[in-house]
Structure 1
Amino acid sequence: MGRVEQAGKAVAELGQNIGDYIRQQRRHAQISLRQLARLAGVSNPYLSQIERGLRRPSAEILQQIAKGLRISAEALYVRAGILEQREGGPVVDAVLADPELTERQKQVLLDVYQSFRRENAAARPADQEPEE
């Protein structure tokens, strides 16, 4: 497979991954496709195409969808490949994606989590690898 085909396949997979993630978050929030489309200010068919991986949304559309889902836009940007994943991996993603937390609560939790990680890294011998 050539480089162009590989790049095209990677973009298609990103679109599918972000669509799956949006669908999962929408279902978790118990919001219908139609409701989320209205909240995000996009058409019902367009949102459906995003969820099915047929369309790759812009950062602006992702922000609108995140607002409609009441989750962090950053979590969607990471899933879409627009931003690199922050240090901390799945813990950070889970906190950012939790619709039950306010933005302020998410930031406080992440600050505490990062302080624990820094503290543990400082206490770890230089030759010891961190556990994931």
Structure 2
Amino acid sequence: MSPTLGEIIRNRRELAELPLRQFASMVGISGPYLSQIERGLRAPSDRVLDGIARSLRTTADVLRRESAPEEATPAVLAAIADDPRLTASQRRALAEVYLAFVATGHTDRPGS
């Protein structure tokens, strides 16, 4: 079973060694609200999820994909999301380009 969006957010926050209150302040939300998101009691708005993603140095799309039960996160997207050398906008752009190529379903491999 895939982790929930809240579990992913909590895990990434803990990996970054950020206390809940400090992280909530970085995002611009209250500690109790972040706690409810992490426990799956509330779904974050797009604005809040974008703020959470920026603070975690990833994108909202990557967080959503990681929590999607029907599809596994490709290693390429995970590598993009975890590369500290990239800015948030670079991560978004690379992820969008990768997903666009994958969505076409075309391959240039011999025998394909």
TM above 0.5, yes or no, is yes
Q: How many residues of Structure 1 are paired with residues of Structure 2 in the alignment? A: 105
Give the structure with higher Rg (CA). Answer: 1
Is residue 124 from structure 1 mapped to residue 110 from structure 2 by the alignment? yes
Answering whether residue 36 of structure 2 is matched by residue 52 of structure 1, we say no
Question: Amino acid of the residue matched to residue 98 of structure 1?
Answer: D
Q: 1:11-90 alignment to 2 at 5 Å? A: 17-79=4-66, 89-90=73-74
1:100 alignment partner in structure 2: 84
How far did 1:108 drift? 6.1
| Structure ranking higher in helix proportion | 1
Q: Unpaired runs of 5+ in structure 2?
A: 102-106
Q: Specify which structure has the bigger relative contact order, considering alpha-carbon pairs within 8 angstroms and separated by 6 or more residues.
A: 2
Q: Taking every aligned residue pair, what percent have the same amino acid on both sides?
A: 36
Q: Secondary structure at the match of 1:125?
A: coil
Which digits, 9 at most, give the CA deviation of each residue in 1:53-104, with x for residues without a partner?
A: 11111111100111222222221243466xxx7xx94223312431623236
Shift of 1:111: 6.5
Normalised by the length of structure 1, the TM-score is 0.60
Gapped runs of 5+ residues in structure 1?
Answer: 1-12, 116-120, 127-132
- Going from structure 1 to structure 2, the CA distance change for 1:105 and 1:125 (only over 3 Å counts) comes to same
